[in-house]
Every structure is written in C-alpha cells, then in structure tokens.
Chains A and B, each alone.
Chain A
C-alpha cells in the first residue's frame, strides 16, 4: 500500500518536473536547433524546432571568427581569464568572509557598510575612473584589470554570500577547535572551509558564469583582437548597418554555453554534500 502511494507520487513528481523542465529549456533548445538551420529558415520557420535541413556550416563559419582570429583564441582567452578569476574569488572571498563573520575587529560595521555599498553602486559609474586608474598602471590590453580585482575580494557579492553561510555554521565548532589549540587561521582551514563546500561550489558556479558572460570590462580593457573573449567575439557578429550573421551568432552562442553547462553538471553533485554528510556529530 505504502509502496503504491510512493509510486504514484513519483509519477506525479517526475511528470511535473519534466514538463516544467521542458518549458524552462525550450528557449535554449530553440537556440541550439536554430543554429543548425539555414539562414532563411531561422526566422522564416521559427516555431519549428527541427531544422528542415541540418546545416553545420554555421558552426564552421562562426568558428573562423574574423580576419584570422577565430573562436579557438576567444575560448582560450575566456578560459584563462575565467579560471583565474574563479580561483581568486574563491580564495579571497572565503577568507575575507570568515573575517567578517567570526572576528570582532574595530570599525567592522563601517567596513561592512563599505562592502555593501560597493554591491549597490552601478558598475557603469566607476568604470571610467577605474579605467583611468588601470590605464595609469599600464594594464590596458592585458588581463590584469579583469583578474587582479578578483584576488583582492573584488566581487563583494560573494563575500556577503559566504558571510551568510558562515553565520549558519554553529559557533560551538569554532570553540571546540579553539580548545584543541587552533588559532583563527587554523579554525578557518580546518573547520570553516570544509563545511563551506556547498557554498564555495555556488561561488565557483556563479563567478564562472558572471566572468564568462561579462561584456563591459573585456570591451573596455581588451582592445587587441588577440585578447578578445568569447562575449566580444559574439558581439562582433552583430551590426545594425551591415546585417547580423544570425546563423553564426546562434551557433557560437550555443557553443559558448557549453563550458558553463559542463562545469555546472560536474559541480552540482558537490552541492549535495552539506553539513548532514560532512560529519558534524
């Protein structure tokens, strides 16, 4: 009897999750399928998901890029920048968040206010002064303006995120470690960091996504075509005057989602590991 019940609820559950899931990814499916269509069919036969004829040349044409610099270069640049930004963000945000969440230092409230203020100020506004600053450092046309801030806690969103998660970790654990003779750094490495794994995975996923999708900073700082990232490459397909190469744009857009998709599919299983399984007694 009970088994029967759970079977029915399983059926309802999976039907709902699958149906709603289809609605969720329909737009993405549309994009991927359209990237296989010939140009006239993309808009002429928009509602149909299945291409009348499969065209792979959207991919090969798109991959070539512009004037000898292709998407292999763009992908390489994006991967370099994104990987380093993710590393920097995870390293700096986790320790800084620990400091804010667990240690009472002077002017903490004020500094926390500053941290939050930087989350609230629109990026467009500090763009120009920051450009001038980095230009004076001689950093224009290098990856530094994109990478260095990440190592210096440059994405305060993540610091705030981790603060919230650390505050959810029972303080008794710290206290127990203190009794065992750990200092503050020891507590961070031995207690907090392992427990923070699900949150850190979130940080990895988000900072990867944001950096990968970022358009503004690469546009301003990476002028040399050899340094362009994928987002810049995608925009180069578009032009109001001369017309947009939709097939190539959609093909490369679909490809550009792939790294994020793989990363997420790989990491999402670590989201499962919470306190429940990491052995809090």
Chain B
C-alpha cells in the first residue's frame, strides 16, 4: 500500500527506464529508502559508532578480566560470571531487592501517573497550576537535598513519627529498620510519578477530540469512553512508560546511594548500587562489568517479553490499529 505513494514521492529523481523489471525497481527503491533512512538517523549512527559502541565493547571485554581501574587488565575467562552466579550471596540479595522493588514500584507509579494525568485532562481551571505542583517532586529527583528531606520525614524524630505519635501510635526509625527501609525508598520513587504523568498527559492530549465527540453522540458513559477510547489510544504511551519505568527501576541508584547506601543489612542493596560499590569502592571493575552484562541480559529478557506481548494490546493509530 505504501509503495504506490513512494513511487510518486519523488518523480524528479526516479526516472524509470522502459525495460526494467519490477524486481529491479523494487530493489532500487528499497536501496533508496535505506539511504534516506541512514541519512536521517545519521546523528545517532555517528554517536553510536563513535562514542558508544567502543565503550560498550570495552566493558564486555573487561567483564572477562580482573580489571581494577589502576592497572592493566588480565584475562580471566568466565571466572567473574561463574563467581557471580555460583558463589555471591550479595548478588542474589541485590537481585532479589531489585526485583521486589521493580514489581511493586512500577505498577504503583504508573497507576498514580495515569490517574492524575486523567484528572488534569478534564479541562477544568487551574489544572496547569496543579500539574506543576504535582510535577515538583520529580524536579528534586537525584538532588543531594532529597537525602536530607527524606531522612527528616522518615527518620526517628521525623514528621511521619510526629504524626503517628500524635495518633497514639509509636513510630519507629523507618530508614534504619531492615524491614521498612525498602518501603521508604519505594514511597520516594512512587512520589516522583511526575515524569510518567507528563508523558501520559501528552499522550492524552494527542487523542483526537472527534473520537470523544463521536462517543458522546453514541451515548457512551465515562467508563465506557475510558475503556473503549482512552485506554486503547493511550496504549503506545502506556507501553513506553511501562518499558522505561521497568528499565529505570532495574537501574535505580541515586536515591538509595544518597539515603541508605544499601543498608541496613543490605536490605536496600539495589543491583546498580552493588555494581557501583564493586566498581568504584572496591575497584573490581572486571567483576562489576560482568554484573552489568548479567543485568543487561535480565532487563533485555523482560523488555523482550513486554515487546512480544505488546502486539496483543498496543494499538498504533498509524498502523491502522492492528
């Protein structure tokens, strides 16, 4: 279908000679499209091959060495991978903590983000103001101040305990307790739902108004409109947010680094934090590189699963809603 249009795309360049067979035409056109395609993505191609591919391959190589940053690396074969997978309890701990974190915080964050985005898309007055208010927590992001603020809220003498005490409940040191420290970080991350909220908002604004008009003419109620129009039209954005929040969840680092440093008793030892500790505190860059590649494989597997299932539930307007 698209072919016929491309044919007319640039008649001035494409001069067909009479005897060419269809196949050749086809080939030439593909070749041309490839060329145009490469020209268009050339900034990224250049960056990828010049600045990114080399370092990535280097880190793959380093994962098979005992590199310590300070001296030249020695080849150790699969030792790092074997050690990680067979005899590293902290690897298991960090993976467990990270998986718990991802599976709890990602859905929560997305639900909050979508819910509030819907609320701010009602066309009421002052929603812009409130959007800004709700977005502010994301601004503070990885700032060093967040550690101070969060400790003040959830610390032993923090505001949360003040409130609990006034209700007659006895508070505890939420950050210092191995049973609750992870929850405190989950709350922090979910609190910063502003980013996916903005993306949802942009997605909601992209849904053509006529669809809603048509639905209201058909007499659909709000719930029906949401299920029949909003959700399907939003699936590409939901899909994006799901992928990115999942990947981001696996890589969470700054907040834990600033607030708990993985403690107490490794109860908030996120994978990226463990990796960082190995690489830069204990100077085991080779080992850390192996950890990174294992993480890459885990994230890739989960991403591929989400991608594979996406054809079942993600609706692309441009692809005619296949």
Contact = CB atoms under 8 A, between A and B. Distances in A.
Contacts of A171: 2, 318-320
A124 B118 CA distance: 36
B93 to A, nearest CB: 18
B128 A25 contact: no
A175 B5 contact: yes
Interface in A248-267: 249-250, 253-254, 256-257, 260-261, 264-265
Interface string B300-313: 10010000000000
10 contacts: A21-B130, A114-B48, A117-B56, A129-B55, A153-B41, A161-B240, A164-B239, A170-B318, A184-B9, A253-B145
A130 to B, nearest CB: 5
A185 B34 CA distance: 14
Interface in B117-141: 119, 122, 124, 126, 128, 130-141
A33 to B, nearest CB: 11
Interface string A42-80: 010011000000000000000000000000000000000
A133 B55 contact: yes
Given A157-B244, A167-B236, A275-B205, A152 B275 contact: no
Contact of B6 (A10, A28, A178, A271): A178
A121 to B, nearest CB: 5
Given A103-B33, A154-B47, A250-B148, A27 B153 contact: yes
A124 B198 contact: no
A103 B145 contact: no
B269 interface: no
Taking chain A's interface residues, is the majority helix, strand, or loop, or is none over half, making it mixed? helix
A148 B142 CA distance: 23
Contact of B145 (A165, A170, A250): A250
Contacts, number: 300
B148 A31 contact: yes
A246 B148 CA distance: 9
B36 A121 contact: no
Given A96-B43, A156-B44, A256-B143, 15 more contacts: A17-B130, A28-B149, A99-B40, A116-B300, A120-B303, A124-B253, A126-B55, A129-B59, A152-B48, A154-B47, A168-B237, A178-B6, A205-B198, A213-B142, A273-B205
A85 interface: no
B137 A122 contact: no
A1 B39 CA distance: 61
B296 interface: yes
B203 interface: yes
A81 interface: no
Nearest to B133: A21
B208 interface: yes
A246 to B, nearest CB: 7
Interface stretch (B99-107, B157-165, B174-182): B157-165
Across chains A and B, which 5 residue pairs bring their CB atoms closest together, nearest first? A152-B47, A105-B37, A274-B205, A153-B44, A253-B145
Contacts of B186: none
Contacts of A86: none
Given A25-B136, A160-B240, A179-B8, A168 B316 contact: yes
A124 B199 contact: no
A92 B43 contact: yes
A202 interface: yes
B292 interface: yes
Contact of B48 (A153, A160, A202): A153
A111 B41 contact: yes
